[in-house]
């Protein structure tokens, strides 16, 4: 696999040399691109020596003035040949250009021309990082699917303290491995994910449901799949495409979801119940459409089966993770569910927040573990939340809290 590393002009540009080495040690081919300002901080020769490849330092080389068509379209050739673009360190300036689609040098042109995933690792002065302009640009890039490796906090070269230091090489490499699907820490696991809402019919055309989009469950299936697990996705009705490689079991009602989960449960080693299962269904579903009448209509609802409570009875050594959609007393209510349902982990979700949670691409959650874990995560994209949850699965395994099912 081939990776392009864009180095921009910051004090931490020298750290990109270590990053390049680590990428090579992962067996990746590396093409370095430097902006003009980056070359004020570190010489291209360093990268050329490390990679054994010419470092791209400008859009138009002097030879090109002799009508060298190959280098005139080099950005397109590089754009098509790479599996990933990493910009590290990424200055406020390059982030602004990327957010706006300005393509005035090789790196920013490459960003527009490539369809490969993109990772940025910002590094700058704390005030520049916290400036609304930079934060808006970062947000815009995130919305577009760019992966952001947040800067570390600490003592900065400018003498100030705060967030702005380039993330550690380890953190950047971890993200690279994740994006490229190199992290295979769930190999051997069979992850069963439930996602989306359920629909409970009132009559042939009407139903009771909820606002769940399924995005969180689909992100979990995608992340688990990328990390090497066999992934089965039992999904209520959603508008989403199933992630490549996952086995999709489409269902509509809570009863169908229960049947599918019980069928797959014996084979699963990890069960993650992200679905927003209806708690009630109409006691009777009429065969014909209910006609309009000028009087109130009462529906009698009966409870559905609690799938999660049912499966934990046969849990054995499987890891079982639930979600807790709460509108008040987030941690206390979720911890009560964790205990009552005998779960290994619960993902507490404050669904009263407008900008994250149900139907959003983002989520702000707290992870609560049976081992006392209480981890408040910042507002993250759902794929990042998914990876945080899966990190806890790996942790639970490594601490031997739960093993694979004994009955397999
Ligand atoms: N769940 C389930 N079967 C149901 C209802 C919920 O398996 N019939 C699962 C959900 O997938 C979720 C967890 O139970 O992982 C908690 O769901 P939530 O709706 O937050 O809680 P409830 O147990 O339904 O309790 P309440 O609605 O009173 O908050």
Question: For every one of its 408 residues, what pLDDT tens digit does the chain have, with 9 covering 90 and above?
Answer: 999 999 999 999 999 999 999 999 999 999 999 999 999 999 999 999 999 999 999 887 655 455 555 566 777 889 999 999 999 999 999 999 999 999 999 999 999 999 999 999 999 999 999 999 999 999 999 888 899 999 998 888 888 888 899 999 999 998 999 888 888 899 999 999 999 999 999 999 999 999 999 999 999 999 999 899 999 999 999 999 998 899 999 999 999 999 999 999 999 999 999 999 999 999 999 999 999 989 999 999 999 999 999 999 999 989 999 999 888 899 999 999 999 999 999 999 888 776 666 777 788 899 999 989 999 988 787 888 999 999 999 999 988 765 444 443
Q: Which two tokens stand for residue 296?
A: 């109130």
Q: For domain 2-180, give the CATH number.
A: 3.40.50.1950
Q: How far apart are CA 406 and CA 387, in angstroms?
A: 26
Protein residue closest via CA to atom 8 of ligand 1: 306
Q: Which of 196, 212, 277, 326 to mutate to test the pocket of ligand 1 (most atoms within 8 A of CB)?
A: 277
For residue 279, report the distance from its CA to the centre of ligand 1, in Å. Answer: 7
Q: How far apart are CA 364 and CA 407, in angstroms?
A: 36
For residue 137, report the distance from its CA to the centre of ligand 1, in Å. Answer: 37
Residues of each domain in the chain carrying CATH 3.40.50.1950: 2-180
Protein residue closest via CA to atom 21 of ligand 1: 324
For residue 404, report the distance from its CA to the centre of ligand 1, in Å. Answer: 24
Residues of each domain in the chain carrying CATH 3.40.50.10300: 190-398
* Residues whose beta carbon lies within 6 Å of some atom of ligand 1: 254, 273, 275, 277, 279, 304, 306-308, 322-325, 337
Q: DSSP E strands: which ranges in 276-387?
A: 280-282, 301-303, 319-326, 345-350, 362-363, 365-369, 374-376, 380-381
For residue 321, report the distance from its CA to the centre of ligand 1, in Å. Answer: 11
Protein residue closest via CA to atom 4 of ligand 1: 306
SS3 label, residue 156: coil
For residue 246, report the distance from its CA to the centre of ligand 1, in Å. Answer: 24
Whether the model clears a pTM of 0.85, i.e. scores above it, the answer is no
Q: Which of 212, 217, 306 to mutate to test the pocket of ligand 1 (most atoms within 8 A of CB)?
A: 306
Protein residue closest via CA to atom 28 of ligand 1: 279
Position 406 scores a pLDDT of 41
The Cβ-side half-sphere exposure at 210, using a 13 Å CA radius, reads 21
Q: How far apart are CA 178 and CA 148, in angstroms?
A: 13
370 is catalytic: no
Position 408 scores a pLDDT of 39
For residue 338, report the distance from its CA to the centre of ligand 1, in Å. Answer: 11
Ramachandran region, residue 27 (left: φ > 0; alpha: ψ -120 to 50; beta: rest)? left
What is the atom index within ligand 1 of the atom nearest the CA of 308?
7
Position 144 scores a pLDDT of 86
Q: How far apart are CA 40 and CA 35, in angstroms?
A: 9
What residue has token string 């689909």?
A: 218
Domain 190-398 in CATH 3.30.70.20? The answer is: no
What is the atom index within ligand 1 of the atom nearest the CA of 349?
20
SS3 label, residue 363: strand
What is the atom index within ligand 1 of the atom nearest the CA of 310?
7
CA distance between the termini of the chain: 36
Looking at 36, 72, 158, 340, which residue is catalytic?
158
């Amino acid at each position: 696999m081939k990776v392009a590393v864009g180095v921009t002009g910051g004090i931490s540009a020298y750290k990109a040399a270590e990053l390049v080495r680590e990428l090579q040690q992962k067996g990746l081919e590396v093409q370095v691109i430097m902006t003009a300002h980056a070359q004020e901080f570190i010489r291209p020769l360093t990268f050329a020596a490390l990679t054994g490849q010419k470092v791209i330092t400008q859009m138009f080389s002097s030879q090109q003035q002799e009508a060298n068509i190959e280098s005139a379209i080099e950005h397109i050739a590089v754009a098509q040949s790479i599996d990933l673009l990493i910009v590290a360190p990424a200055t406020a300036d390059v982030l602004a250009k990327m957010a706006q689609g300005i393509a005035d040098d090789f790196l920013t042109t490459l960003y527009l021309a490539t369809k490969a995933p993109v990772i940025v690792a910002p590094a700058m002065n704390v005030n520049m990082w916290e400036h609304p302009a930079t934060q808006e640009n970062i947000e815009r890039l995130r919305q577009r699917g760019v992966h952001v490796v947040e800067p570390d906090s600490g003592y900065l070269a400018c003498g100030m303290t705060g967030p702005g230091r380039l993330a550690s090489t380890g953190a950047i490499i971890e993200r690279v491995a994740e994006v490229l699907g190199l992290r295979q820490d769930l190999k051997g696991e069979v992850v069963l994910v439930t996602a989306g809402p359920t629909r409970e019919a009132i009559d042939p055309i009407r139903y009771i449901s909820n606002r769940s989009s399924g995005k969180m469950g689909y992100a979990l299936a995608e992340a688990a799949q990328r990390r090497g697990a066999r992934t089965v996705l039992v999904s209520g009705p959603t508008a989403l495409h199933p992630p490549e490689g996952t086995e999709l079991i489409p269902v509509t009602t809570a009863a169908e979801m229960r049947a599918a989960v019980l069928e797959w449960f014996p084979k699963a080693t990890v069960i993650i119940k992200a679905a927003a299962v209806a708690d009630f269904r109409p006691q009777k579903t009429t065969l014909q459409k209910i006609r309009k009448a000028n009087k109130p209509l009462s529906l009698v609802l009966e409870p559905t089966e609690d799938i999660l409570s049912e499966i934990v009875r046969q849990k054995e050594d499987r890891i079982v993770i639930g979600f807790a959609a709460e509108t008040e007393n987030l941690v206390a209510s979720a911890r009560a569910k964790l205990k009552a349902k005998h779960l290994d982990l619960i993902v507490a979700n404050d669904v009263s927040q407008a900008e994250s949670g149900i139907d959003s691409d983002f989520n702000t959650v707290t992870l609560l573990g049976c081992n006392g874990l209480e981890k408040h995560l910042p507002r993250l994209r759902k794929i990042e939340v998914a990876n945080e949850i899966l990190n806890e699965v790996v942790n639970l395994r490594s601490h031997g809290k739960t093993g694979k099912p004994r009955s397999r």
